[in-house]
Structure 1
Amino acid sequence: MMGDREDGNGTAQRLTLREAMLGAANELAAQGVDEARSNAELLLLHVLGMERSQLLRDFGEPFPADKAEAWTELVRRKALGEPIQYMIGEQWFYGRPFAVTPAVLIPRPETELLVEAVLEAADKLWPPEAEPAPTVVDVGTGSGAIAVTLASQRPRWRLCASDLSPDALAVARTNVARHEADGRIAFVQGDLLAPFVPGRDKTEHAGLRIDVLVSNPPYIPAADMEGLQREVRDYEPHLALVGGEDGLDPYRRMIDQLPQLAVLPRIVAFELGIGQPRLVAAMLERMSAWDDIRIITDYGGIERHVIATQSQPRE
């Protein structure tokens, strides 16, 4: 049992919290888990229900016997590659905690840059007190991290979050309630922009005038799935990962659907995979609908986002 060790006389002794964490970190490292010590600490905080400051204070205390079985199981699951965010049920994004389950992708730090780009571009077109405030649609919302963050940062904006997966929408609704955005974000189940095309589906959002379209759709090429980290390949939902043979199918389909909307969005913002942004930027340029198309690099210097903006309103 991971909560015990033997003294020099062969008598079982309770491990301290520090010893339990270090032992778990060594086991995780031996199984090829990246950032083993950080993961072990997060699991320990979770199983003990502690804040980090409490753990640092109590590192020398014995590991509680009633938590040993749960602790052993958590370390075993992590050693097999399960993402810690699914194990503890949470991931932070833009300074807020979001519930996550295996039904949704785990929000990534680089997506925060997409949110910032949308906020910056939209503020130029719709100043804080402008009327009417923009209507923003987050396609493929997953956990709802983008939609909830935009709603929290700009309370006057009207938000709509869509996803093909009803299970993902259930997680997004949980996060909307958690961050007190109830009544400010509408939910739509459907495939990409299809629910918003006038006359196509008899839904209340068909024909919605979309001012800002933001999306982080599946963009992994099918052939690349096998080479992904096991944490991603074996645990995160493939529906939200695979974007067809070259990873660009969702972008092609959305760009084809854009002219079918009631009006072209003045801002279109996409997150993409490595090597994809310039290809999608070229697709948008061929439409000649936006006078500024920019590519944004992520924290690692990789081209990651495309944002197209039309500075003048359309009639």
Structure 2
Amino acid sequence: MAERRSRGEPLQYILGSTDFGPLTLLTKPPVLIPRPETAFIIEDLAARILSARRRGAVTRPLVILDLCDALHVAYGVDISPDAVALSRDNIASLQDPKVTIFQADILAPTFPNSLRQATGNVSIDIITSNPPYIPQEEWESLPSSVKEYEDRGALVGGPVSGVGDGVAFYDHISKMAKDILCPDASLDGQVPRLAVEIGASQGSMVSTLLPGKTEIVQDQYGRDRMVLSSM
């Protein structure tokens, strides 16, 4: 194990698991390693949903669609077969039957139809995503422990003309959300309809790409890490 670590292999892959908030998740190369910043903002989002339920603003179970990633019914989508397989292993180990994972390319024009077929045309209330968002220039400067072990496709986002690099997935998710999210007026302003993880310097760029009223949420280190949209 020490020899593997000395070669730069991430400790999470060597140990085979990592903490993620209150959970312990299985980790396996080349699937993206869960980060503590992601756990922090997901717990923030969960607290907002629970608060809305306690206030009586939300009175029914919510259906969550996680793109590219035990509270409500949830569907997860990823293009990587390795990520899908590992997610299913994690669901099995957590014994959570309310989460369903399937493989699909969210950038494909046919994805909304594929989603409806895979979920039985269920109404989606909230979309969450930790999409690829690292600009190409930043990727070049990352340590070898990231570039040589983790899936590049899960990390590097493409450019949007006139906005910046690394934010292409947000633009696509924003345009696609209107076809996927259910038009439930009772949820307006009560819970975020879109919640996406971002790079620390991308808050203003992503806010311009998402619809409706947006809010930037910081992580435990005081860095911009999530943008919420009320649609």
Which TM-score band applies after superposition, normalised by the shorter structure?
0.7 to 0.9
Alpha-carbon contact 1:222-1:242 (below 8 Å) kept: yes
Matched, 1:140 2:59: no
Q: 1:281 aligns with which of 207, 210, 220?
A: 207
TM-score (norm 1): 0.63
Matched to 1:117, the amino acid is D
Q: Which has the higher helix share?
A: 1
- Partner residue in 2 for 1:103: 30
Between the aligned partners of 1:218 and 1:279, the Cα distance in structure 2 is 15
Q: 1:252 aligns with which of 164, 171, 184?
A: 171
1:104-138: CA deviations, max 9, x gaps? 11111111222122212222444498542000111
- Partner residue in 1 for 2:187: none
1:82-109: CA deviations, max 9, x gaps? 1011111111111321111113111111
**Runs ≥4 in structure 1, deviation > 6 angstroms?**
none
Q: 1:200 to 1:229 in 2, by over 3 A?
A: same
Aligned length: 217
Matched to 2:63, the amino acid is T
- Partner residue in 1 for 2:80: 165
Between the aligned partners of 2:133 and 2:62, the Cα distance in structure 1 is 27
Q: 1:231 aligns with which of 145, 154, 165?
A: 145
Matched to 1:205, the amino acid is T
Q: CA offset at residue 274 of structure 1? A: 2.3
Q: 2:91 aligns with which of 176, 181, 195?
A: 176
Between the aligned partners of 1:173 and 1:304, the Cα distance in structure 2 is 26
1:247-268: CA deviations, max 9, x gaps? 1111111111112225368521
Q: 2:48 aligns with which of 117, 121, 131?
A: 121
- Partner residue in 1 for 2:133: 219
- Describe the SS at the equivalent of 2:229: strand
Matched, 1:210 2:124: yes
Alpha-carbon contact 1:196-1:261 (below 8 Å) kept: no
Alpha-carbon contact 2:104-2:111 (below 8 Å) kept: no
Between the aligned partners of 1:185 and 1:105, the Cα distance in structure 2 is 19
Alpha-carbon contact 2:40-2:219 (below 8 Å) kept: yes
- Describe the SS at the equivalent of 1:204: helix
Q: 2:17 aligns with which of 69, 77, 90?
A: 90
Between the aligned partners of 1:121 and 1:187, the Cα distance in structure 2 is 24
Matched to 2:199, the amino acid is G
1:201-223: CA deviations, max 9, x gaps? 67233743211111111111122
Q: CA offset at residue 298 of structure 1? A: 1.6
- Partner residue in 1 for 2:215: 294
- Describe the SS at the equivalent of 1:78: helix
Q: CA offset at residue 200 of structure 1? A: 5.9
- Describe the SS at the equivalent of 1:81: coil
Between the aligned partners of 1:161 and 1:304, the Cα distance in structure 2 is 20
Between the aligned partners of 1:187 and 1:193, the Cα distance in structure 2 is 17
Alpha-carbon contact 2:203-2:225 (below 8 Å) kept: yes
Between the aligned partners of 2:181 and 2:215, the Cα distance in structure 1 is 24
1:175-196: CA deviations, max 9, x gaps? 1111111x21112211237676
Between the aligned partners of 1:102 and 1:258, the Cα distance in structure 2 is 30
Alpha-carbon contact 1:114-1:269 (below 8 Å) kept: no
Unaligned runs of 5+ in 1: 1-73, 142-150, 311-315
- Describe the SS at the equivalent of 2:119: coil
Greater relative contact order structure (CA < 8 Å, 6+ sep)? 2
Q: Which of 1 and 2 has greater Rg?
A: 1
Matched to 2:207, the amino acid is A
Between the aligned partners of 1:127 and 1:211, the Cα distance in structure 2 is 18
Matched, 1:185 2:96: no
Q: CA offset at residue 280 of structure 1? A: 0.9
- Describe the SS at the equivalent of 1:178: helix
Matched to 2:144, the amino acid is R
